[in-house]
Amino acid sequence: MIIALVLIPSILALTVLFLRSFRIGRATLIGTAIIHAALTIATWLLPLDTRILFGVLGLDELGRLFLTIVSLLFLVASFYGVGYLAHSSRAHASQRTENFFIVALLFFLSTMTLVTVCQHFELLWVAIEATTLASAPLIYFHRTKQSLEATWKYLMICSFGIAIALLGNFCFSISGAHSGHTSMIFGDLLAYAPFLQIQWLKAAFILLFVGYATKMGMAPLHTWLPDAHSEAPSLVSALLSGALLNCAFLGVLRAYQVAQAAGLARFLQPVFIGFGLVSMAFAAIFIIRQTDFKRMLAYSSVEHMGILLLSVGLGGAAVFGGMLHMIGHSLIKAMLFLVAGNILIAYRTKSTQAVAGLQEALPVSGALWFLGLFAITGLPPFGLFTSEFIILKTALDQNRPLVAILFLVFLAAIFMGMFSIGLKMLLGKSPEESKQPLRKEWLWSTGPPVFLAILILLLGPHIPRFLSFHLHKVAELIGGVG
Amino acid sequence: MLPIIDSLLIIFILTNLLLLGSGRLATYIQMIAVQGVLLGILTVFIQHGGFRLRFALLAIGSTAIKGILFPLLLARATRLVHIKRELEPVIGYTGSLIIGAFLLALSLWISSRLPIPTPGKIDDYVLPIAFFTIFTACFLMISRTKAITQVISYIVLENGIYLFGIPFAGEAPVLIELGLLLDLTVGIFVMGIILYHINREFSSVNVNELSSLKDSRL
């Protein structure tokens, strides 16, 4: 079944390559997303298959959580995508570019799925690199100078990261070679972690961390992220932010799990905390006075990736908070990007100054934008409030007042920055005659974000017991307290 | 411990220094070709035991990709975009060479601190020079501004990682092949598609012109 999850999107992508019709291409997109989601649900109902293909693939609790997020977001994005493509085909895109877009999207799904079900470090590396290659054409969809520039930066910086991660993989296998262990299968590595050569393991971890965290948007290597997110079509931005960054995070976590089993957790925690806070600081600086609302959301992703790193670095109860935070961030950020896409289509600008009076012009999107701003900045009663509170409390319990203060300061700065921009767009003065929105909303553009909004509200005030049970299990895997 | 390895490695150092100290694209491409061929030869000589056929194939593959394919593609790209020199290095060529000397010393120091799993079987200078190549590439990437020189820096980085991997190819069954695969995919993606499009859109290949996307000054 895991193999089917990985292969089905790729196979269907190949068939789309030979299609001549808009309709079948779009139907394939939605169909694949539904099949993928159904299979993902099945992985929750059946016992976990942790070792298939000699243990190279397998699904553990951590992988299943990431897989579920990927699958859910792809389902939502594919429905939104059909509406988006229908609009853009009237505007400019030819049938060839559209089908190529769908092919790249499906390959993107395939590669992200592979990342989540990977139990082998070399294959994980291949899968993460493959996500870069599959998503690069998606960013270049609009064929403009800016999108070309964004694609170029994305490829160069992420390939640089991936090359560093390859070096990390070398160091990993050298650290095992000292005691004659050459298997790169995750479970085996965990088992003989205490016998790994410690200097090489440290080098390996640092290199893997830098390599994968580059892809995750960790500051100061985040520079590709705002460009790629702001130039890509909005549904792609939603997937990049909500699903792809998580996949890179999974790469970091896998390396961390092994390092932890080898007793290196104490050595690594300051690295996580430091880079987490630096990412939040960068995000805060660039969000205040941001003039492009998609870039604002992109920097907010840098911030939340920083919070995830911080939570792992703190360990203990914060890891549970981090996992909860990841789910919340993925849902909310994906919704916000989809809404931003509606705003962009309606106003034909990404400038925060030019957009005003959202609530009148686009009532549904305006309301969702408002809700999303509340949720993403961590106000109660939304999920991110709970998770940020847990992380803060852990920092205080561990007697790290400086971390706690910086965490709060950055959160407050980002809150003010996002709200002053977001509220002006929402309320503001109604646009003048010439700047009336050019398009009205329709079901394809509002339905998917509304669906996400319902999920966000459901997860808000109280975490379902089922979810909390699983998150505790996942947190235990990465050094948290159950 | 063959003397031939040492002499090949010395040539490798010289190619890195030339990359640092030269501004002609033709020199860059020649150095890439030389490094590619050197890596192919080194693959045969550095290996210690293990599966012979694999190393022969690796040697052929790396020579073909790094020593022949990439230089040809790069030469074609430079003809396409009509540039001969890297005109505006962020740091001058003399300065780059001095920094290069420091990087070489740093590489020697780092590798003296890392224990080798099978001592005696690996030539003492492979690791330092691999590190030196990697550092050189990172430095070139920061300090050279043309898209094509950045691609060249990336290839140098890959060469460094490959050189690092050769002595450990026995312990890491597929990693080194993965490196070659990365070379191919990224090389073809970046050079084939992007350089072509950047050239068409911007009518030049200067990364500095890729600067419309940035945040307003604070």
d(CA B178, CA B180): 5
pLDDT at B84: 67
| Residues of chain B found within 8 Å of residue A181, distances taken between Cβ atoms | none
CB atoms within 10 A of CB B7: 10
pLDDT in tens, A112-121: 999 999 998 9
pLDDT at A437: 55
Q: Minimal Cα distance from A175: which residue of B?
A: B117
The secondary structure of residue A56, as a DSSP letter, is T
d(CA B40, CA B67): 8
| Residues of chain B found within 8 Å of residue A290, distances taken between Cβ atoms | 215
d(CA B124, CA B46): 11
For residues A331-345, one letter each, b for 16 or more C-beta atoms within 10 angstroms of the residue's C-beta and e for the rest, the string is bbbbbbbbbbbbbbb
pLDDT at A109: 95
d(CA A127, CA A130): 5
So where are chain A's domains? Answer: 264-482
d(CA B7, CA B13): 10
Judged by a CB distance cut-off of 8 A, whether residue B118 touches chain A is: yes
A52: three-class secondary structure by DSSP: strand
Helices (H), B22-125: 25-46, 52-62, 70-81, 93-113
> How much is the mean pLDDT over chain B?
80
Distances (CA, A) of A201 to A124, A265, A460, B46: 18, 12, 40, 24
Q: Do B172 and A169 touch (CB under 8 A)?
A: yes
d(CA B47, CA B121): 9
pLDDT at A459: 85
d(CA A455, CA A333): 13
Q: Do A159 and B186 touch (CB under 8 A)?
A: yes
Segment B178-203 mean pLDDT = 70
d(CA A242, CA A66): 10
Name the residue among A189, A246, A180, A258 with its Cα closest to residue A213.
Answer: A246
pLDDT at B113: 82
pLDDT at B216: 52
d(CA B213, CA A145): 10
| Residues of chain B found within 8 Å of residue A229, distances taken between Cβ atoms | none
Output A399 or B115, whichever has higher pLDDT: A399
d(CA A40, CA A48): 11
Judged by a CB distance cut-off of 8 A, whether residue B155 touches chain A is: no
* Cβ pair B89, B23 in contact under 8 A: yes
pLDDT at A164: 92
Question: A363-376 and A443-459 are packed helices; what angle lies between their axes, rounded to 10 degrees?
Answer: 30
pLDDT at A147: 85
Does position B206 have pLDDT exceeding 80, yes or no?
no
CB atoms within 10 A of CB B48: 13
d(CA A67, CA A111): 11
- Residues whose CB is less than 8 angstroms from the CB of residue B35 and which lie 6 or more positions away in sequence, other chains included: B12, B15, B66, B67, B133, B156, B159
Name the residue facing A289 among B168, B190, B218 (closest C-beta).
B218
- What is the CA angle A65-A69-A75, rounded to 5? 140
Q: What is the pLDDT along chain A (482 residues), one digit of tens a residue?
A: 888 888 888 888 888 888 777 778 888 899 999 999 999 999 999 888 777 878 788 888 899 999 999 999 999 999 999 888 887 766 666 777 888 899 999 999 999 999 999 998 989 999 999 999 899 889 988 878 888 888 888 988 898 899 999 999 988 888 888 777 778 888 888 888 888 888 888 989 999 999 999 999 998 888 899 999 999 999 999 999 999 999 999 999 999 999 888 888 888 899 999 999 999 999 999 998 888 899 999 999 999 999 999 999 998 889 999 999 999 999 999 999 999 998 888 888 888 878 887 877 888 888 899 999 999 998 888 889 999 999 999 999 999 999 999 999 999 999 999 988 888 888 877 655 445 555 667 788 888 999 999 998 888 777 888 888 999 989 988 877 65
Name the residue among A134, A128, A380 with its Cα closest to residue A248.
Answer: A128
* Cβ pair A2, A117 in contact under 8 A: yes
Q: Do A160 and B157 touch (CB under 8 A)?
A: yes
pLDDT at A165: 93
Q: Do A159 and B215 touch (CB under 8 A)?
A: no
Segment B90-114 mean pLDDT = 88
pLDDT at A436: 56
- Selected for mutation to probe chain A from B134, B171, B207 (highest A CB count within 10 Å) is B171
Amino acid found at A318: A
Helices (H), B89-193: 93-113, 126-143, 147-165, 175-186
* Cβ pair B81, B199 in contact under 8 A: yes
d(CA B172, CA A176): 10
DSSP letters spanning A154-171? HHHHHHHHHHHHHHHHHH
Size of interface A-B (CB pairs under 8 A): 109
So where are chain B's domains? Answer: 3-114+126-208
d(CA B30, CA A157): 25
For residues A197-211, one letter each, b for 16 or more C-beta atoms within 10 angstroms of the residue's C-beta and e for the rest, the string is beebbbbbbbbbbbb
Query: Nearest CA of chain A to the CA of B172: how many Å?
Result: 6
Query: Nearest CA of chain B to the CA of A282: how many Å?
Result: 12
CB atoms within 10 A of CB B64: 14
pLDDT at A302: 95
Name the residue among B150, B185, B165, B103 with its Cα closest to residue A167.
Answer: B165
CB atoms within 10 A of CB A467: 16
- Selected for mutation to probe chain A from B127, B213, B218 (highest A CB count within 10 Å) is B213
| Residues of chain B found within 8 Å of residue A199, distances taken between Cβ atoms | 113-115
